[in-house]
Chains A and B, each alone.
Chain A
């Protein structure tokens, strides 16, 4: 465990000394500040607009961080050949992958913490007491980003930075649409025979669609922003189940990344 932590701490140090991180944080804080104006202009309650907008900004900035920083962490090591001295140390390669991943999670956590502080400060500034359930929404944004970062690391373990970024973005978009596959299948099963013109799905297509659904993480499982902002009830154990669901994908992605990375030649 010790080498993983050492690599994680170094990855954290590397990222917080990188300009790209500061650009993203400043961008995020700017947007959160902008939510004050949106609150003024909107017909809805100010705290609702600020909360809704800020949580969306957190999610977006987390995604950008996962893609730009997550992919760069491994790719930079390979391109600059710093990886040669590192992997020549007496440690298995998966330590490197997991260490880098944990380092980036520390960065994500730190940035979400900074954004949360600013967000809560804004709410207090406008005279609203921040609801504790907001923290649950922010926590699930963190879990979602942890899944996306694991995907970014997986792609960057075998692909170029540009392709890795595209693949990761693909997982993010597909992950948010994955729930629609199930909804679509349910709809066809319920009304397929009754509605004229509705396509009846073949068993093969159904298996294929279900396969795709299980292959990509359903990122909507981590989205409770609407429920929190509009004060709707959250099902019991929802956060726990969502965390376990995310953890499963993270484990699978890191396992594949480690296996892939373990086989790779470093010329």
Chain B
């Protein structure tokens, strides 16, 4: 569905045309049926990659293709729906006029368009009265919803969303998350960039982590987190002092909680606690989250 190979892009900014490298050899691929997360800090190159895929930016070098066709050609976008980051739409149009305009541009005919406008407005929970209001009266959340609706209007096989959850309240975020899951369940390939890493971790089948214009990690969530240090958190029934804890078993988080760095240390600690007559209240295996890994990669890049 998406194939990106050694993509590079340099912007020339300011009066002196100072060059800023936005992408430094990005390579990744999105397969049919993927719910693919594209994560990274601000300015990492996520939006630049997406805009190159959609032909809004020309790549410096490297190649990118959509649906097997070179990115940038109109034919590559035939089956693609897109929602840009913080979308701005024609505020002089009503929601319905807006969807009709985009539907017609996507090649939908009158009868089909009428049905689709109703379907997608229901899918993104836009009420009929809102559909007949001008977009300038819409809240941020409603604009995001109508933006999603236009992206889905032409029944695309691939949906590309740039930060679809930005600016949404928790309920709006939950709705978008559920919508992404629904699209994935319907067999639509979804490629989206996000800062909400917990959502990416929870719903994405695969992801790529971009930092400083380069892909640092990619694969399934498990693959991305693989090899990262796990630790065990042991809750104790009574308080202990740091000096009483044998060396190498772990570190005291508070008087009743010990963090063990390895499975062996965790087993030894449990044996030690039982030998001391200290009750065990809980044993939790904690692994690194995407946020931890991203923070680590950002620190490495700096």
**Interface residues, chain A, with chain B CB atoms under 8 Å away:** 2-3, 6-7, 10, 13-14, 17-18, 80-82, 84-92, 263, 265-267
Contact = CB atoms under 8 A, between A and B. Distances in A.
Contacts of A88: 54-56, 77, 80, 82, 84
B107 A267 contact: no
B31 interface: no
Interface residues of B, number: 31
Given A2-B104, A13-B92, A267-B51, 13 more contacts: A6-B105, A13-B93, A13-B97, A14-B92, A80-B88, A81-B88, A87-B54, A88-B54, A88-B82, A88-B84, A90-B74, A90-B107, A266-B51
Given A80-B88, A266-B51, A85 B106 contact: no
A263 B88 contact: no
Interface in B34-78: 51, 54-58, 74-75, 77-78
28 contacts: A2-B104, A3-B104, A3-B105, A6-B101, A6-B105, A10-B90, A10-B101, A13-B93, A13-B97, A17-B92, A18-B92, A81-B87, A82-B89, A84-B84, A85-B87, A85-B147, A85-B150, A87-B56, A88-B77, A88-B84, A89-B77, A89-B102, A91-B105, A263-B58, A265-B57, A266-B56, A267-B11, A267-B57
Contacts of A7: 105
A89 B105 contact: yes
Contacts of A92: 74
A18 B92 CA distance: 9
Nearest to A80: B88
Nearest to B13: A267
Nearest to A99: B105
A69 B55 CA distance: 27
Contacts of B57: 265-267
Contacts of B58: 263, 265
List 8 tightest A-B contacts by C-beta distance, closest first.
Answer: A88-B82, A84-B84, A90-B77, A17-B92, A266-B56, A88-B54, A90-B74, A80-B88
B56 A265 contact: yes
Contacts of A87: 54-56
Interface in B1-57: 11, 51, 54-57
A33 B77 CA distance: 52
